[in-house]
Amino acid sequence: MTLPPLIAPLASRALIAVTGPDWKSFLQGLITQDAETLKPGELRFGALLTPQGKLLFDLFLFGLDDGCLVDVAADRREALIQRLTIYRLRAKVEITAREGTVLAAWQAPVPHGPGWAEDPRLHLMGARGYGAEPPHGAIMTDEAAYHAHRLALGVPDPDADCPPETTYPIEADFDLLNGVDFKKGCFVGQETTSRMKRRGAIKNRMLAIRFDGPPPAPGAEVLAGSLRAGQVLSGRDGAAMALLRLDRIEGADLTVDGRPVSVLRPGWLAEG
């Protein structure tokens, strides 16, 4: 039996339009994703980093005929517009807030057609919609259901899970979720990001944890015996995202606030 797709409006996300003759080259030198080859109707996942290589804004790029939409945290849209404006210099680009609802869809068959594109992070994440109509028969739900879905798949959402400028993109699994194009050339924070990937010395990653009952408070310590193995970032009943030390969670009995927790190890994580 085929279930209808679930559709959730993401009120936590907002849109910026980047247009003009130089929009591709402008974004290409800034973000972790390849903007030069983005086609209309295509969706890519990436980030704008600090010069030191930490996550500043996580974002999606949706290709338009004359530019792209940038899907970013709603409460940080103005900050991103200001940051892009600083970088603009003499580039012939227009950077403007764009009204519109961001939709998330999951549970096959996910929508296709105008305004819809597959989520580039992971096939099971479904699709995202921009100026799109929910398909006939879809079930409307809420953003809490969307976050439960991504936590069940072990997919981080940096804006929801951690403050800006605290985490490296590889710690947030961008390298495993198609968030960094290591072949595209220079971008802000590239040196640190490339060095971490090249050396393979990744000590911490964001991973989902499971437990019984309500989520621990953000910042609560994850312990492996008496050793600190990480901290809780955000969560809901039964599941949370945590930043964990990989060398301390293998075969360990983990606890948070005295409660036992287990680590979700999705198949896509094995690639790292």
Q: What does the alpha-carbon distance between residue 167 and residue 160 come to, in Å, rounded to a whole number?
A: 13
Q: How confident is the model at residue 98 (pLDDT cuts 50, 70, 90)?
A: very high
Query: What integer pLDDT is reported at residue 145 of this predicted model?
Result: 96
pLDDT value, residue 263: 95
Phi, psi of 215 (to 5 degrees): -75, 145
Q: Give the pLDDT score at 112.
A: 86
Question: What is the arithmetic mean of pLDDT over 103-117?
Answer: 91
Structural domains in the chain, CATH included, are: 6-143 (3.30.1360.120), 159-271 (2.40.30.160)
Res 270 pLDDT > 80: no
Average pLDDT over residues 108-125: 92
Span 60-80, mean pLDDT?
A: 97
Query: For 74-92, what is each residue's pLDDT tens digit?
Result: 999 999 999 999 999 999 9
1: pLDDT strictly greater than 70: no
pLDDT at 213 over 90: yes
pLDDT band at 271 (very low <50, low <70, confident <90, very high): low
List, for residues 165-196, the tens digit of each pLDDT value: 999 999 999 999 999 999 998 999 999 999 98
The predicted pLDDT at position 219 comes to 94
pLDDT single digits (tens) 30-56: 999 999 999 999 999 999 999 999 999
Confidence (pLDDT) at 154 = 95
State the pLDDT at residue 211.
Answer: 95
Residue 84 and residue 196: Cα distance in Å, rounded?
A: 26
Query: So what's the pLDDT on residue 251?
Result: 83
Tell me what the pLDDT averaged over the chain comes to. 93
Which residue in 57, 17, 62, 23 sits closest to 39, CA to CA? 62
Torsion of CA 265, 266, 269, 270, to 10 degrees: 80
